[in-house]
Amino acid sequence: MSTRAIRGATCLTADDSAQMTDAVVELLSEIMSRNSISKDDIISVLFTATPDLKCTFPASAARKLDFGDVPLICAQELDIDGALSHVVRVMVHVETQLPKSAIKHVYLRGAEVLRQDIAQ
């Protein structure tokens, strides 16, 4: 078993709590599905959000997936001129048998432009 990091991101169209919850639940669900992992395989999750997202913590949405015993933390993304707005990024640390080359990083809702080199 190895420890791997899985990247992902999603975009919101507005600073809205319901939209944040829907987008984060969708993102985490896709990461788990595409990488054949369960909640029990997850070590921890780091979320970042762009400075224009103030409605709620992305980690709050993860609790909708029963992530209560998974360490979660949120941070603010750097405020870079010209950067894509309304973005939630995630780095999920997991235990898996998958080699690094088989990890599927997930970018949704317009966030694919951030990492076209690894977006699945």
- Catalytically annotated residue among 34, 55, 63, 112: 63
Whole-Å CA distances, 62 to 11, 51, 113, 115: 16, 20, 24, 23
Query: How far apart are alpha carbons 52 and 76 in whole angstroms?
Result: 10
Residue type, 114: L
- Catalytically annotated residue among 26, 30, 55, 74: 74
- Catalytically annotated residue among 26, 30, 55, 115: 115
- Catalytically annotated residue among 4, 11, 107, 109: 107
**Would residue 30 show up in a list of annotated catalytic residues for this protein?**
no
**Would residue 107 show up in a list of annotated catalytic residues for this protein?**
yes
3-class DSSP state of 96: strand
**Would residue 112 show up in a list of annotated catalytic residues for this protein?**
no
- Catalytically annotated residue among 4, 11, 77, 109: 77
**Would residue 4 show up in a list of annotated catalytic residues for this protein?**
no
- Catalytically annotated residue among 4, 7, 11, 109: 7
Query: How far apart are alpha carbons 115 and 113 in whole angstroms?
Result: 6
Give the residue numbers annotated as catalytic, written as ranges.
7, 63, 74, 77, 89, 107, 115
